[in-house]
Amino acid sequence: MSLLIIINESPSSSKTWNALRLCAALIGQDEEVQVFLMNDGVFNVIINQNPPDEIASQATSKKLFELHALGAEIFYCSQCLESRGININDIAPEIKKSNLPKLAIQIQEASKVISF
């Protein structure tokens, strides 16, 4: 089964953290997981983030890279990135550039879609 998890929330959001925890649990059950970051969710893939000590244990960019190493495919919406003024050079190269038409295809192909 393939699962697509769409994350719209910023790095400091508990929704984002819970979405990533769910991804890890699904990967642990040998599920195929794709993560699509859009809206403020694109802030989660900026490299070299230094969150405040209060939330450092929930560093979402670090968690995303860990999930990628475990086999999750991670995508970001290029239009969302551009509209927020984020430089593409601030995104790790293993994170895949995507867009809404490609997301539409991913939604059609996924067994289940969960949005946070």
Mean pLDDT by 10 residues, the chain (116 residues): 95 92 95 97 86 66 90 97 94 93 98 98
Which domain covers residue 37, as residue numbers?
2-115
Contact (Cβ atoms closer than 8 angstroms) between residue 103 and residue 38:
yes
Which position has the token pair 């790095």? 11
Model confidence, pTM:
0.90
Q: What pLDDT score does 54 carry?
A: 63
pLDDT in tens, 58-76: 678 888 989 999 999 999 9
Q: What is the CATH number of the domain that holds 103?
A: 3.40.1260.10
Q: What pLDDT score does 56 carry?
A: 58
For the chain, the straight-line distance linking the first and the last C-alpha, in angstroms and rounded, comes to 20
- Counting the structural domains of the chain, the total is 1
